[in-house]
């Protein structure tokens, strides 16, 4: 069975976030056509989590944004199988199934793979399944064995071991302390669910009332990353935080000075804040949040998850971090877990100007990533939109 895996569609992203509308590229005909073309000789499609963006506003907005994609996908993929997994931004897609499991008298421990119908998962996934007919939609959680040696999961469990101090990571750290379940003692899926589930549920509850804002949807972390030297503007040039080139001190120079002062304040305070967080016992955080360290931290954390869940030397496909790989220039050793897991990140289907230049395919964060799994042989990373510039992606038009 030929299987294509894609992750992090975030359909509905930016619908209520100023200046970010349209970052979910599968709303656009061009990217949808590229994906549909790649599915011509595929038997099964796996949507590996964060299919919907449920943190930017009401669920009805995300569903409305997703409908054209699922209807077109269903027509093109008629009679074939679509398996949907939940991530952290759409964890509510499996909330009904999880609730019924909690209410059962003696539930079995959560394993690496649970399979159930779209109707059992939630009313939202049932709605998506109806739109995708005559394709067949089912659900899996928290992962799915695609072959005896290939396991796929969204990757949100890696936040439990992440050394980057995102707000979600801090929430997980506080939950772990409250429950007295330290991440360095995790050995099963239930351990990860115990500390991540409450955090996701709280953020989902907030999002039902109003957009979660930059603190809870990750943009505040990106802003710190930019201030500490990782900034790239939409045009691909390094952002200039200082005054005018000729040293003039007009209003423009004064306006440019404020970001520079903010940046110096952040650069000076950030290591102190990290040291304080480490003393509280919420985690072992690193003050380095450069681009290379973002990659390494995610891979170290995912390798730790794979080792603790007993995945051995399986190929482990995940998304979550949006950084596709391994790419030809990557260090191969970084993509092996401590127990031998062979990591692959399927990338994303969002256009995030914080990380991208105007050059198509130049960045590992460029949208359109996928992983193809054949009957045998190693899974293959395929980047389906590397020839799509911003115009073809429908960004900024």
- For 3-215+282-393, CATH gives 3.60.21
Say what the pLDDT of residue 287 is.
73
**Which residue(s) pair with 46 in the sheet?**
5, 83
pLDDT 10s digit of each residue in the chain, 397 long?
999 999 999 999 874 334 445 589 999 999 999 999 999 999 999 999 999 999 888 899 999 999 999 999 999 999 999 999 999 999 999 999 999 999 999 889 999 999 999 999 999 999 999 999 999 999 999 999 999 999 999 999 999 999 988 888 889 999 999 999 999 999 999 999 999 999 999 888 888 776 665 555 555 555 555 555 554 433 333 332 233 333 333 333 334 444 554 556 555 666 777 777 777 877 788 777 777 888 999 999 999 999 999 999 999 999 999 999 999 999 999 999 999 999 999 999 999 877 788 899 999 999 999 999 999 999 999 999 999 999 899 886 5
With tokens 């289907």, the residue in question is 349
Phi, psi of 61 (to 5 degrees): -70, -45
d(CA 163, CA 177): 16
Domain ranges for the chain: 3-215+282-393
> CA–CA distance from 192 to each of 205, 309, 381 (Å)?
20, 10, 27
Rounded to 5°, angle at Cα 223 from 218 and 227 = 150
Say what the pLDDT of residue 265 is.
55
* Closest alpha carbon to 234 in 359, 318, 142, 143: 359
282 contact partners, CB below 8 Å, separation of at least 6? 170, 173, 174, 177
Say what the pLDDT of residue 275 is.
78
Say what the pLDDT of residue 252 is.
34
d(CA 166, CA 162): 9
225: helix, strand or coil = helix
């Amino acid at each position: 069975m030929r299987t294509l895996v894609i992750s992090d569609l975030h359909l509905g992203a930016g619908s209520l976030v100023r200046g970010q509308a349209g970052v979910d590229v599968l709303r656009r005909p061009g990217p949808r056509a590229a994906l549909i073309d790649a599915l011509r000789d595929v038997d099964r499609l796996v949507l590996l989590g964060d299919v919907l963006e449920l943190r930017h506003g009401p669920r009805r907005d995300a569903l409305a944004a997703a409908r054209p994609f699922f209807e077109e996908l269903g027509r093109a993929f008629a009679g074939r199988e679509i398996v949907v997994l939940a991530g952290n931004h759409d964890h509510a897609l499996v909330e009904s199934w999880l609730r019924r499991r909690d209410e059962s008298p003696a539930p079995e421990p959560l394993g690496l793979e649970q399979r159930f119908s779209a109707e059992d998962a939630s009313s939202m996934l049932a709605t998506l399944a109806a739109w995708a007919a005559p394709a067949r939609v089912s659900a899996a959680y928290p992962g799915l064995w695609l072959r005896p040696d290939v396991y796929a999961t969204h990757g949100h469990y890696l936040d439990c071991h992440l050394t980057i101090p995102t707000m979600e990571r801090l929430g997980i750290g506080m939950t772990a302390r409250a429950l007295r379940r330290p991440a360095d003692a995790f050995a099963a899926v239930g351990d990860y669910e115990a500390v991540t589930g409450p955090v996701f549920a709280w953020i989902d509850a907030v999002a039902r009332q109003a957009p979660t804002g930059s603190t809870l949807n990750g943009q505040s972390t990106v802003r710190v990353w930019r201030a500490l030297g990782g900034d790239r503007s939409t045009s691909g040039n390094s952002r200039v935080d200082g005054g005018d080139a000729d040293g003039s001190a007009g209003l423009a120079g004064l306006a440019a000075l404020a970001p520079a002062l903010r940046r110096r304040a952040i650069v000076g305070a950030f290591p102190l804040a990290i040291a304080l967080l480490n003393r509280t016992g919420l985690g072992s955080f690193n003050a380095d949040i450069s681009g290379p360290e973002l990659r390494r931290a995610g891979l170290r954390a995912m390798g730790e998850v794979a080792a603790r869940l007993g995945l051995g030397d399986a190929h482990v496909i995940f998304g979550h971090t949006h950084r596709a790989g391994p790419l030809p220039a990557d260090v191969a050793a970084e993509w092996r877990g401590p127990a031998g897991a062979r990591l692959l990140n399927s990338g994303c289907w969002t256009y995030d100007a914080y990380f991208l230049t105007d050059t198509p395919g130049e960045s590992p964060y460029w949208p359109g990533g996928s992983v193809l799994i054949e009957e045998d042989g190693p899974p293959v990373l395929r980047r389906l939109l590397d020839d799509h510039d911003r115009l073809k992606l429908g960004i900024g038009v």
